[in-house]
Amino acid sequence: MPPRGHLLRAAERRAAEKSSVLARYMKEQWAFGLLSVTTVQTIAALAVQDHESSPGQLQELARLGTSGKHTSHCHGELVSLLRRHHADLPHRWQWTSR
């Protein structure tokens, strides 16, 4: 039996695969500098509060910075999230990130 952490990561990956138009839009707006990362987190958290069955990508954005409690961590966590889901990177961000 795999360790529990492995099962949790697999479940998170499956949940994140659920597409969200809103999540994609917010990531693009952030990549072009039109939304701050804390605004992305706040909008995602409000959307998740309104709709508990929100797509996994939206839930991941809502959890940035320990669900907004540590806003100074949001940027690094969003970059990490985008790197994990490389196929979902906004086009401009693919060119500017290393």
**Length of the chain in terms of residues written:** 98
Structure tokens at 49: 């509060």
* Contact by Cβ (8 Å): 54, 98: no
Q: Where are the domains of the chain?
A: 4-96
Mean pLDDT by 10 residues, the chain (98 residues): 64 65 91 94 93 85 91 91 68 52
Confidence (pLDDT) at 95: 45
Is the sign of the CA dihedral 65, 44, 79, 5 positive or negative? Answer: positive
pTM check: above 0.85:
no
Confidence (pLDDT) at 67: 87
